[in-house]
Amino acid sequence: MHIGPHQLSNNVVVAPMAGVTDRPFRQLCKRFGAGMAVSEMVASSPHLWATHKSARRVDHRGEVDPISVQIVGADPQMMAQAARHNVDQGAQIIDINMGCPAKKVCNVAAGSALMKDEELVRRILDAVVGAVKVPVTLKIRTGWDQQHRNAVQVARIAQSAGVSALAVHGRTRACGFTGDAEYETIAAVKSQVSIPVIANGDIDSPQKAKRVLDETRVDAIMIGRAAQGRPWIFRDIKHYLATGETPPPPPVSEVHVVLIDHLHQLHAFYGGEMGVRVARKHISWYTKELTDSAAFRQCVNRLATAREQLAAVSTFFIRLAQRSERISYAEEELAA
C-alpha cells in the first residue's frame, strides 16, 4: 500500500489515540510489524504549540518512517498553518482528525463534529492539501449519528481535494465506542472512491482482521485499543494473513521483556515522575488478563518511582513464569 511516495511495509496501521500513541508506543508497534503508526492529535492552535505536551507530540527522534502526524481543529487557515508547522518538525504525512468523538473536541466544532458541515470539510481539506507538499490523509466516522451517515459524501470530497488516503471508523459520533462497527458502510465508502481506504473499528484478532479485509475490500486495516497492552497483535496479524495459521499467544516471559522495555522508554521520554504516571495504564493493559493482576495493579498504582515500578513488574512476572502462563485474546473484551 502506498500513501503518496511512501510504500508501507504492510497494510496494518496503528490508529491515532490521544494519550496512547506517543513516540515509545509508536516505535514499539512498528517494531512488532505495524506498517505505519499515526501520532496523537496535535492542536492546530499556535498558542498551544509551545506547551510541553505539544513538544512531546512532535518529537519523532529515532522513529521509523513514515512519520504520520494527526492535526485537529476547525479553522481552515489554522489547520493549514498547523500542517506546515508539523512538516517543519519532521512529519512526512499529515493526518486530519474528523473522527474524534470526545465532547471537548466536538464542542469546539472539531473532530467528528466537522462531519455535520460538508462545506467546512471541503475548505479544511483544500487548505491543508494546498499548504504542504507531503501526503494528507483523513480519518472520519460514518457520520454524526445514525440518521446522518455521510461517510460516502465526505470520502468523495476528500478524494476531490487531493487527500491521499482515508481511514474510516465504522461508527457514528453518537455511537462513541459502543455497538458493532458498520463494516457495510466502510465497504460502501471503498466502492465509491479510488484512493486507499483503511478500515477501523472492532478489529481485535488476526481472524477479525482477515474477515474485515475480505468483507470490505479495503486497502488496509487500523488497530486501536486492541493494541493497548498487546503490541504483538501486529506480528500476529501479519503472520495469519501470510500463512492462515493462528500464532500461539506470547508466553509471559516475552510479555515481561516487552513491558520492561516499554517502561524504560516511557520513563526516559516523559521523565521519572510523569513517566511513572503514564506507565500505570500500560501496566494495567499488559496484565489485565493474567492471574492475580487486580491485586497487583492496586499495588503498582501506589508506587511513586521508576525503580519501584520496574521491580514490582519483574517480581509479578517472575511468579507468573513459574506457572508457564500465556496471554490470550479475549475478543469480547476488546474493541479497536
Per-residue model confidence as pLDDT tens digits over 151-182: 999 999 999 999 999 999 999 988 888 888 99
Instruction: Give residue 335's pLDDT band: very low, low, confident or very high (50, 70, 90).
Output: very low
pTM metric for this prediction: 0.92
What's the gap between Cα 210 and its chain centre? 19
**Model confidence at 334: pLDDT above 70:** no
Tell me, what's the pLDDT at 327?
58
Residues in the chain: 336
* For residues 131-152, average pLDDT: 95
Q: Which of 29, 100, 106, 175 is catalytic?
A: 100
Share of the chain above pLDDT 90, in %: 78
Share of the chain above pLDDT 70, in %: 95
Please name the residue that has the C-alpha cell 483523513.
138
CA distance 233 to 202: 13
Closest Cα partner for 35 from 77, 66, 63, 79? 66
Summarised one tens digit per residue, pLDDT across range 290-313 is: 888 999 999 999 999 999 999 999
* For residues 245-274, average pLDDT: 95
Tell me, what's the pLDDT at 326?
58
CA distance 110 to 309: 38
Q: Work out the number of other CB atoms within 10 angstroms of the CB of residue 160.
A: 12
Q: What is the CA radius of gyration of the chain?
A: 20
Please name the residue that has the C-alpha cell 479495503.
218
Residue 258, SS3 per DSSP: helix
CA distance 146 to 76: 27
CA distance 160 to 162: 5
CA distance 37 to 47: 26
Domain ranges for the chain, please list them: 2-243, 252-321
Tell me, what's the pLDDT at 55?
79
**Model confidence at 40: pLDDT above 60:** yes
**Model confidence at 145: pLDDT above 70:** yes
**Model confidence at 329: pLDDT above 60:** no
Sequence-ordered list of residues with C-beta below 8 angstroms from that of 19, at least 6 positions apart, any chain? 40, 281
CATH fold group of domain 2-243: TIM Barrel (3.20.20)
Known catalytic residue: 100? yes
